[in-house]
């Protein structure tokens, strides 16, 4: 699926950035996934050493394979869902607006947008050793309205993005104010 399909791109609009969370922020979920994969193996080895005769029963083996298969299927579904949320949660910055695409689970998505000329303030937050060393952080875009704020969570190069958003906002503001002055006269 192309991004212009999701955002209904205007004819004069060009995509400047497609932002996603930094890949390292998905690493804890991968490590948790690996840990969950190792749990049944550890349980099997524990039962094999403590109750060797119990494990040799055919009914117990069949039940173990069935429960293990269900467990691994559930883990794969969990990991797939987390990956879809991570990958499809994005922010698209164009020369006219910011589109915030938030993915909530497999079948739930919210898309909101903000015109660049409405931006009042852009701030960045980089907290911690890993975000500082790997250059990722949070960018908050604020408007005069209390309910329209867009937050880019854990994006790479937050200071560069902040500077570019401010520059794009100034350019878009000039365009819109010149248009308003031309229609007034």
Q: What is the structure's pLDDT at 174?
A: 83
**How would you classify residue 105: left for phi > 0, otherwise alpha for psi between -120 and 50, otherwise beta?**
left
Give the alpha-carbon dihedral of 72, 73, 76, 81, to 10 degrees: -140
Please give the pLDDT value at position 69.
Answer: 94
Q: What Rg do the C-alpha atoms of the chain give, in angstroms?
A: 24
Residues in the chain with pLDDT values less than 50? none
Distance CA 167, CA 161 (A): 10
Helix (H, G, I), strand (E, B) or coil at 105: coil
- Distance (Å, rounded) from C-alpha 114 to C-alpha 32? 36
Secondary structure, 3-state, 157-185: CHHHHHHHHHHHHHHHHHHHHHHHHHHHC
Which pair of structure tokens corresponds to residue 89? 């949660």
């Amino acid at each position: 699926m192309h991004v212009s399909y999701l955002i209904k791109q205007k004819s004069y609009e060009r995509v400047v950035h497609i932002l996603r969370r930094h890949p390292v922020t998905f690493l804890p979920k991968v490590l948790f996934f690996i840990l969950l994969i190792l749990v049944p193996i550890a349980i099997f080895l524990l039962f094999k050493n403590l109750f060797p005769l119990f494990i040799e029963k055919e009914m117990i083996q069949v039940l173990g394979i069935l429960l293990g298969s269900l467990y691994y299927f559930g883990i794969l579904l969990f990991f797939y869902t987390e990956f879809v949320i991570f990958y499809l949660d994005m922010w698209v910055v164009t020369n006219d607006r910011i589109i915030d695409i938030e993915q909530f689970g497999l079948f739930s998505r919210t898309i909101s947008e903000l015109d660049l000329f409405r931006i009042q303030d852009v701030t960045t937050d980089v907290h911690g050793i890993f975000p500082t060393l790997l250059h990722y952080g949070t960018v908050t875009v604020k408007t005069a309205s209390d309910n329209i704020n867009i937050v880019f969570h854990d994006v790479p190069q937050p200071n560069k993005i902040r500077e570019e958003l401010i520059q794009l906002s100034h350019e878009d503001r000039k365009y819109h104010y010149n248009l308003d002055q031309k229609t007034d006269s």
